[in-house]
Structure 1
Amino acid sequence: MLILNKQTRAKRHLETLTFIPQSADKVEFLASSSAFKQQILTLIKQAKSRIYLTALYFEKDEAGQEVLEALYQAKQANPQLEIKVLVDWHRAQRGRIGEAAQMSNADWYTQVREKYALSTEQEIQFYGVPVNKREIFGVLHLKGFVFDDTLLYSGASINNVYLQQFERYRYDRYHQIENKALADSWINFIQQHILANPAVNRLDQANRPKTVEIRPLVKTFRKELSQQAYYFSGVSMNEEQLMVSPLVGLGRKNPLNKTIEALFFQVQQKLTICTPYFNFPRSISQRITWLLENGKQIEIIVGDKTANDFFTPPEEKFTMASALPYLYEKNLRAFARNFDRYIQNGQLVIRLWKDGENTYHLKGVWIDNRYILLTGNNLNPRAWKLDAENAVLVSDPKSELIEKVEQELAQIRTYTTLLTHYSDLEEIKDYPEKVKKLLKKFGRVKLDKIVKMLL
C-alpha cells in the first residue's frame, strides 16, 4: 500500500511539471570531449547577442586560455555581445586539490581583464557564486552554456581534460538544444536569482570581498536560491510531442530530487543510470531495490576506480581524496554482492568504464525509451543535500530521439566491461597499504559515512 501511494505521488509530481515543446531536429548529441570543445568555440564565434557560461570552474590552463581568448575576440568583433561567466566562488580562489598554491583562477580573470582594458560597460564579467559559507558544504554545480537561443549542456567544466586539449580526456555527456524559451528561462533564472543577489560578486577584480565578509549574505542567498525555479510559459506534459523541462534544486527535498525519485517509479521495462561515483542517496537505493524486486531491468554504468578523477597511482603523493575511488569501489562491491542473484539472472547489468588513463564523469538517467535526464547531478548524497544542481528533463513519448539515444548509449558502453560477479572487484586486502589504513580508520570511527556525504 505504501509503494502504491508513492507511485501515485510520483505520477502526480510529474504531472505538475511544466514543459516546453521541442523540435527533435534541434537536439544534437555530441560524441566526445574534443567535439564539445570545438562546439564551444564555434558557438562563441557565431553568437550575436548573448553568451552565459555556468560551470563549477573555468581553469587557468591551455584550454581555459583558448576559450577565454575566443570570448575576448568575439567581444572585440561585436562589442554589443553580452558575455557573463558564472563559477563557484570558493573553487575559483584556490588551486586544485593536492597542488601547491599559485595564482588562482580569479587572479587570472583579473589579469586578463586588465590586459584587455575594455570599458566598464563592455567588459566580460566573471562572477563567483557562493552556495555555502564553505566549499565542503556546498558548491555551484549548475551547468549549461547559453549562446543566443541555444543551450549547450554538459556536466563538464572548462579545463584541459574536460575539453581534451591534449591526449587525456574526462568523459562526459554533451547535448545541444536550440530552443528560445529554454534559453530565456536559463538567462532569466541567472539574472533574477543569482546575479541580482548581493552575495554574488565579481571575481575578475582585485578588490573582491573576503568570504568572511559576506557570510551572512551567503546564508540568506542559499535559503533564497533553494526556493527558486526556472520560470517560463509552458504546457503540461502530454503523450503527443517531444518536450523539455528545466529543473533546479538545492537542499534535500528540492524539486529536482523529487523529480528524479518520481522518474524511478515510471519504469515499465528498463532503467539506465550513469554515475562517476557509486554512492547513491538512500531514496535512490530504495527505489533500485524495489525495481529489481518487481522484475525491472537495471543497467548501471560506473567508472572503474582508476577512471575516477580522484584516483592517484600508488607511486604518487597520497591524500585523503585519493582514498575516495576505493571507497566507491567498496560501495559497489557491497551492492553487487547484495544483489548478486539479479546479476546472475541478467536483470541487473553493471558496467565498469575504463579507457587508459582517461577519466569518467558521466551522469544521467534513461527511463525506457520515454524519459531522458540531462544533468550534472552525480546522484550522490552531496548532490542531494549540499550542492546547487540543475537538469533538463526530456519527455519523448513518441521516441523521436531514439536513434540518437541508442548511439549515445552504445558509445558510452564502448570502453566498459561487464561485472559478472562481485568478486571481480578488489576488496580492502588488495588495496595499497595507505588506502587500507585510511579505510580501516574511517570504518572504526564511522567517518566513512561522513566522507561519502561530503565528497
Structure 2
Amino acid sequence: MRKTLKSIMQIPFIKYNHQKYLDELAKIEQATDGYQVLYTPKEYRLALLQSIKNASQRIYIIALYLERDEAGQEILQAIYDAKINNPHIEVKIFVDWHRGQRGRMGEAKTQTNADYYHQMKLNHPDVDIEVYGVPVNRREVLGVLHLKGSIIDDTLLYSGASINNVYLHKLDKYRYDRYHIITNKTLTNSMVDYIKHNFLTFDGVQRLDQGQHKTRKQLKTEIKELRQHLTQTNYQFEGNADNTILSVTPIVGLGKGNPLNQVIHHLISQAKEQVVFCTPYFNLPPIIIKDIIRQLRKGKKIEIIIGDKTANDFYIPEDEPFNIIGGLPYLYEINLRKFVERLQEFVDKEQLIIRLWKDDEHSYHLKGIWVDDNWVLNTGNNINPRAWRLDLENGILVHDPNGELRDKFVKELNTIREKTQLINHFQQIQASQFYPKQVHKLINRLSRIKIDKIIKRLL
C-alpha cells in the first residue's frame, strides 16, 4: 500500500519526538561534586554574596530585575566592592529593559531601579559596572527578559528568583524558589557567549546606569530586530557527553515552538513511570494539558505542585485595596478546580497527585520538572501561555542516568512537599461563588466580555 505524505510524516514524529529527541540533544559532561542544590532563599543569597566576593575573572548577573531595596543594594554593593578590589574583573548586569525603568506598581515613576543604578555610578565615578536593559518586546506585557542565572567565574548560580528582599529572604517574608549551583566551564562559557553575541551586538540593548534613556518609540526598530533575532537563537557549545553519564544541557527559547518548549513537551511525553512538576500559576498551555492526560491514560503517575492562591505573588489580602491584578490568583484557582474535576478519576486512583503549597504569608515561585529519577529541568519558565510565547526563557536540563545527584533532587522535592496540602477531591478547592464579593464581581465581568482568556495569556 502506498503511504501518504501525512502517514510518512506521522511515523518519524512518533519515533523521533520524545525519547529520541532527548537522547540526541547535545550534552555537557558534569562532575558530581560540581553540582550543588540549596534549599532556602537565605542560603542562596549568602552563596551569591560569597561567590561575588570570591570572583576573580567575571561576574555576569542576569535577572528579570535587580531592585533598589535592601537585598538589591546589598548585591550591587558587593559587585562594586569586587570590582574595586579587582579592577580587571569583567562585570556585566542584565535586567529587563521595561522592568528596570519602573518601580513597584503604585510607586512614583521617578523612583526606579534605573535611577538607583545611575546613582551608584555617580557615587563610584572610577568604577565601571555595566548595567544593561534588554527589551524583548516594545511593551512589558508582550514579553520580558525572563532568562535566569548568575555566572561568576566558571560557576552558574541558577534560580528562578529575581534580586530583591522577598526573593532572597532579606527581611521577614520570602518567595520560595529553586537554587542550583553548577560549576562547569563549558556550560558557563556557552551562556556568556550567548549574551555577548545576542545582546551586546544589538542596539536595542541599552545601558540603564546612564542618566538618559531612549524611549520605546525611539527604539522601535531596534527592539523589533532584537526580538526577531532572539527567536532564532540558542546556546552554542560542543557536546562532550553521551547518554550514559551525568550531563547538563542549557536551553533558551522565545516564541511558540522554541527549543525550551520542545524539551518540556518531550520530557513529559517520554516519561516511563512518573512526572513531577512545579508551577506557581496553574495556567498550563493546551499542549501540556494534552501531554498530561495522555500519560495518565497510559498509566503514568503525574504529580503537580502549585502555590495556593494566597501564596501567589499577585494575591491581595482582603483587607487591602483590590485591583484587577488581584483577580489573577482566583482565575488560576478556577483553572485548577476545573482541571481536577475533569480528571477526578485519576486523583481517586492516586495516579494524579495535586499538592498546594502554603506557608503563612510567604509566596511560592517554583518551576521545574523531575522525570523518572533521571531527568531534571531547572527553569524560570512558568509553563504557562505567556512563557510559551512571549518571554525570553531558559533552562538547564540535567540527565542523571546513574543517579549520582538523585539524593539531592529527592531532598529538594521532599523539602518542597513539606509545606503542601494534598488535594484528594476537587471540592477541596474553593468554588468561585464563595470568593470575596469584589473578586466574584470582577470575574463575572471579565468572563462576560471574554477578556479573562486574554489576561491569562498575558500574565
- Is 2:442 aligned against 1:434? no
Give, in angstroms, the shift of residue 347 of structure 1.
Answer: 0.4
Q: Out of 418, 422, 441, which is 2:422 matched to?
A: 418
- 2 CA distance for matches of 1:9 and 1:346? 28
- Take 2:146 and 2:14, find their aligned partners in 1: how far apart are those partners? 28
Partner SS, residue 304 of structure 2: strand
d(CA) in 1 for partners of 2:110, 2:442: 29
> Is the contact made by 2:241 and 2:247 (CA closer than 8 Å) also made in structure 1?
no
Does the 8 Å contact 2:274/2:301 carry over to 1? Answer: yes
Residue of structure 1 in register with 2:24 after alignment: 16
User: Which residue in the other structure is 2:173 paired with?
Assistant: 168
Look up the SS of the partner of 2:133 in the other structure. Answer: strand
1:319 to partner: Cα distance: 1.3
Q: Is the 8 A contact 1:7 1:265 kept in 2?
A: no
Equivalence map 1:185-204=2 (5 Å): 185-204=190-209
Q: Choose from 288, 292, 310 the match for 2:292.
A: 288
For residues 361 and 3 of structure 1, the distance between their equivalents in structure 2, rounded to whole angstroms, comes to 39
CA contact (8 A) 1:126 1:202 kept: yes
Runs of 4+ in 1 over 3 A off after TM superposition: 1-8, 98-102
* Inter-partner Cα distance in structure 2 for 1:392 and 1:404: 16
Shift of 1:212: 1.1
Task: Give TM-score scaled by structure 2 length.
Answer: 0.96
Specify whether residues 99 and 315 from structure 1 end up closer, same or farther in structure 2 by C-alpha distance, changes over 3 A only.
Answer: farther
Shift of 1:434: 1.1
What does residue 451 of structure 1 align with?
455
1:253 aligns with 2:257: yes
| Percent identity between the two aligned chains | 48
CA contact (8 A) 1:15 1:236 kept: no
Give TM-score, length-normalised by structure 1.
0.97
Equivalence for 1:128 = 133
| 1:100 shift after superposition | 4.2
Work out whether residues 98 and 319 of structure 1, in 8 Å CA contact, stay in contact via their aligned partners in 2: no
- Shift in Å at residue 317 of structure 1? 1.4
- Residue from 57, 74, 81 that aligns with 1:49: 57
- Kindly report which structure 2 residues correspond to 1:206-221, keeping only aligned pairs within 5 A, or say none: 206-221=211-226
Deviation at 1:181? 0.4
| CA RMSD, Structure 1 to Structure 2 (Å) | 1.3
Is contact 2:29-2:241 (8 Å) kept?
A: no
1:73 to 75, 78, 81: 81
Distance 1:297 1:112, change over 3 A: same
Q: Give yes or no for contact 1:7–1:262 (8 Å, CA) kept in 2.
A: no
Structure 1 SS opposite 2:225: helix
- 1:441 is paired with a residue whose SS is helix
Aligned residue pair count: 451
* 1:208-251 per-position Cα deviation (integer Å, ceiling 9, x unaligned): 2111100111001001011011111113641x200000000000
1:314 to 318, 340, 344: 318
* Superposition map of 1:225-244 within 5 A: 225-235=230-240, 237-238=242-243, 240-244=244-248
Provide the residue aligned with 1:323 in structure 2: 327
Q: Deviations 1:54-82 (Å, cap 9, x if unpaired)?
A: 00000000000111111111111111111
Shift of 1:3: 9.4
Following superposition, the deviation at residue 265 of structure 1 comes to: 1.6
Of residues 402, 405, 408, the one that matches 1:401 is 405
1:182 Cα deviation from its structure 2 partner:
0.4
- Amino acid in the other structure paired with 2:310: T
Instruction: Letter of the 1:404 partner, please give it.
Output: K
Partner secondary structure for residue 217 of structure 2: helix
Q: Is the 8 A contact 2:247 2:399 kept in 1?
A: yes
Displacement of 1:96 in angstroms is 1.6
Distance 1:207 1:98 in 2: 23
Secondary structure of 1:256 counterpart: helix
**CA, structure 1 residues 100+312, in 2 after alignment: closer, same or farther (shift >3 Å)?**
farther
CA–CA distance in structure 2, aligned partners of residues 172 and 354 of structure 1: 13
Q: Deviations over 1:144-198 (max 9, x none)?
A: 0000000000000000000001120000000000000001001000011111111
Question: Which letter does structure 1 place at the counterpart of 2:100?
Answer: A
Would you say the 8 A contact 1:17–1:236 is kept in 2? Answer: no
The structure 2 residue matched to 1:366, chosen from 364, 370, 373, is 370
Amino acid at match of 1:184: N
| 2:312 is equivalent to residue 270 of structure 1 | no
Report the equivalent of 2:39.
31
| 2:338 counterpart residue number | 334
- Corresponding residue SS for 2:59: strand
Q: Separation in 2 of the partners of 1:46 and 1:227?
A: 35
**Which SS does the other structure have where 2:232 is aligned?**
coil
Which stretch of structure 1 is more off in the superposition, 13-22 or 212-221? 13-22
Unaligned runs of 5+ in 1: none
Question: By how many angstroms is 1:12 displaced?
Answer: 3.4
